[in-house]
Amino acid sequence: MPQLSNENRIDIKSLLPDEIKQSFSDLSLPSYRAKQVFSWLCRGVDDFALMTDISKDLANTLNEKYEIKTCKIAKKFCSQLDDTVKYLFELNDGELIESVVMKYKHGYSICISTQIGCKMGCSFCASGLNGFVRNLYPSEMLSQITAAQHDLDIRISNIVLMGMGEPLDNFDNVVRFMKIVSNGDGLNIGLRHISLSTSGIVPKIYELSQLNLPITLSVSLHAPNDKIRSSIMKINNTYGVEELICACKKYFERTGRRISYEYAIIKDVNDTPECAKQLYELLNGTCAHINLIPANPVNENGYKTPNRENIAAFQNLLIKYGLNATIRRTLGRDINASCGQLRNRNKR
């Protein structure tokens, strides 16, 4: 059983059903109680007293031993252009995190945060501007989903770990979260419906490949060579482009899952025809998919997005080389602020 206690109470929403069962057996509670409570928690019921098949006495006992982590809505922004909703959530300790719900033809998708702040300090990103505060617990990742589902009265079918934070820098909690969220007695969101985005922590990519989870791995490449990548992503000084691509090839070999490369296209930084050519030389034959993201300008960094025609020209060059490249649709443009900006503004 992991050490997940906080204020001397156990963080019950970070436990899997079998672990709740084990913990309940210490209180001489029958095993069916674990399934009941797990199912309530996954449905977003954040108070034992509101679980209607649990007596008042039992609710009090559980409340003494277990803490239920929650996401309270601090702010909510609804797009006027599409159905995108952006939340600023307040956690039990008062910290703020962001999540975004997007509507697609196939259903609802949520982009969740995995850390408060980020250590990686990529120069184009708002999430790391104020440094790193702490990792999120599995329960706090789950709560972003249950709170949004409850608020919008919807069922979310896809999860992207692309909000604030570096998921592979919070490896154990993220893996645990994925097990909880895909559990059949809970939200039952299949691992194939989960995408994890990483800035490229190479040893963790190898570790993840060993788990052989059928998730989609997205790698934030953003540059085809060490010179440019190191100038915008500090992590490239530790794990260079070649080492990263080698890990990605091994990941594909081991899991059979095609990797998606994120490429935030920034004017006069990584948008030249030479960059497209180098990208081809790097990824040729890897079965990869390249997702071009129009860079979201963050006040503090002065980066600009190329205009639409230039982004399309870059994409066409990649396609001409035989690469599989798409441009990410930007949803909720009117309420946007790339991830991390909302929290930064509210902190100030």
Secondary structure (3-state) at 272 = coil
Q: Provide the 3-class DSSP secondary structure of residue 11.
A: strand
Minimum distance from CB of 145 to ligand SF4 (Å)?
19
Classify strands 96-104 and 5-6 as parallel, antiparallel or unpaired.
unpaired
Contacts of 16 (CB under 8 A, 6+ apart): 176, 179, 180, 183
Q: Confirm or reject binding of residue 156 to ligand SF4 (CB under 6 A).
A: no
Is 61 among the residues that bind ligand SAH (CB under 6 A)?
no
- Can you spell out the DSSP letters for 130-157? T-EEEEPPHHHHHHHHHHHHHHHT--EE
Read off the amino acid at residue 334: D
Q: Which residue has the tokens 């184009």?
A: 124
Q: Which of 125, 161, 221, 331 binds ligand SF4 (CB under 6 A)?
A: 125
Shortest distance, position 119 Cβ to ligand SAH, whole Å: 10
Which H or E run includes 33? Answer: helix 32-42
Residues numbered 230 to 269 that lie near ligand SF4 (CB under 6 A) are none
> Which 154-183 positions form the footprint of ligand SAH (CB under 6 A)?
162, 166
Q: Which residues does 319 contact at the CB level (< 8 Å), separation at least 6?
A: 325
Write out the binding residues for ligand SF4, residues 65-124 only, by CB under 6 A: 118, 120-122
Binds ligand SAH (CB under 6 A): choice among 296, 314, 332, 337 = 296
d(CA 247, CA 307): 33
b/e sequence 141-152, b meaning 16+ C-beta within 10 Å:
bbbbbbbbbeeb
Q: Which of residues 217-236 bind ligand SAH (CB under 6 A)?
A: 220
166 binds ligand SF4 (CB under 6 A): yes
Q: Which of residues 204-233 bind ligand SF4 (CB under 6 A)?
A: 220
Catalytic residues: 98, 339
Judged by beta carbon, residue 37 or residue 290, the one nearer ligand SF4 is 290
Evaluate whether 10 touches 65 at the Cβ level (below 8 Å). yes
Q: Does residue number 295 form part of the binding site for ligand SAH (CB under 6 A)?
A: yes
102 binds ligand SAH (CB under 6 A): no
Determine whether 56 is exposed, middle or buried from the number of CB atoms within 10 Å of its CB (0-12, 13-18, 19+). Answer: exposed
Among 70, 144, 197, 236, binds ligand SAH (CB under 6 A): 197
Question: Closer to ligand SF4 at the Cβ: 17 or 167?
Answer: 167
Nearer to ligand SF4, 67 or 166 (CB): 166
Closer to ligand SAH by CB, 63 or 338: give it. Answer: 338
- Phi-psi sector, 233: left (phi>0), alpha (psi -120 to 50), beta: beta
Number of residues that bind ligand SF4 (CB under 6 A): 11
Identity of the residue, 124 or 251, whose beta carbon is nearer to ligand SAH in the bound complex: 124
Measured CA to CA in angstroms, residue 273 lies from 11, 225, 232, 313 at distances of 51, 14, 19, 9
H/E stretch holding 85 reads strand 85-90
By beta-carbon proximity to ligand SF4, the closer residue of 120 and 295 is 120
Least Å distance, CB 244 to ligand SAH, is 12
Contact between 98 and ligand SAH per CB under 6 A: no
> For the chain, how many residues are written?
348
Which of ligand SAH, ligand SF4, none interacts with 296 (beta carbon under 5 to 8 A by kind)?
Answer: ligand SAH
> Residues in the site for ligand SF4, rule: CB under 6 A?
118, 120-122, 125, 127-128, 165-166, 199, 220
> Residues in the site for ligand SAH, rule: CB under 6 A?
124-125, 162, 166, 197-199, 220, 262, 264, 293, 295-296, 298, 338
